[in-house]
Chains A and B, each alone.
Chain A
Amino acid sequence: QQQVKQSPQSLIVQKGGISIINCAYENTAFDYFPWYQQFPGKGPALLIAIRPDVSEKKEGRFTISFNKSAKQFSLHIMDSQPGDSATYFCAASMRSNDMRFGAGTRLTVKP
């Protein structure tokens, strides 16, 4: 039973385009929503995170949009670059001790 559902499974975007990855969760007790970026041969690394008291968080080209009523959140990558090509995981947790991950999205940014 997947507590966090992520889509799409794979995504191809042209350089300079916008990449959008979506996640939905079920447990309303989740109160921390991070996104992780994983390059081949590496472990996932924290990219950006949001708490449910805000609807949007932006860090450089990366933005999380959060819709508490719909229990959905998404990652937007503006001006996507080939160096952004990686696998992205959304996650949700309570108190950092019940982190549940989505299935991952493999992003390819074509030059």
Chain B
Amino acid sequence: DVKVTQSSRYLVKRTGEKVFLECVQDMDHENMFWYRQDPGLGLRLIYFSYDVKMKEKGDIPEGYSVSREKKERFSLILESASTNQTSMYLCASSREVANYGYTFGSGTRLTVV
């Protein structure tokens, strides 16, 4: 069964901490994405990557960065966590060819206190 695995289901971090959210996919997908999900706002794109070492900003990149050193792994970094970054974070991957659906991980619920 193909999978996108997010390393943590729940995280509690303090304001100002540097936070790493890890995502690994086993489908050899070229594209990977990070979204945050908030009630009433749906899924908002933070960053995405089409290939190793490359990254593109999504709609809400402020306060975040990403790293993709290997094809299967895409990390989201909160440089200095703030309470407004408390959210559900979803990682997804997709094939390179046009218009195939995303496969999502189960999400990481991050609380910043």
Taking Cβ atoms with an 8 Å cutoff, the residues of A that contact B are: 2, 6, 9, 31-32, 34, 36, 41-46, 49, 51, 89, 93, 95-97, 99-104
Q: Which residues of A contact B97 (CB under 8 A)?
A: 96
Query: B residues within 8 A CB of A45?
Result: 104
CA of A101 to CA of B101, assembled, Å: 12
A-contacting residues of B (Cβ < 8 Å)? 4, 31, 33, 35, 40-45, 48, 50, 90, 92, 94-95, 97-107
Query: Is B105 a contact of A43 with CB atoms below 8 Å?
Result: yes
Question: Contact between B4 and A43 (Cβ–Cβ < 8 Å)?
Answer: yes
Contact A51 B99 (CB under 8 A): yes
Known pairs A41-B107, A99-B102, A101-B43 / 9 extra A-B pairs, C-beta < 8 Å: A32-B99, A43-B4, A43-B104, A43-B106, A43-B107, A45-B104, A51-B99, A96-B97, A102-B42
- Residues of chain B within 8 A (CB-CB) of A34 are 101
The docked-state distance in angstroms from the alpha carbon of A88 to that of B66 is: 28
Query: Which listed residue, B41, B45, B106, B107, touches A99 by the CB 8 Å rule?
Result: B45
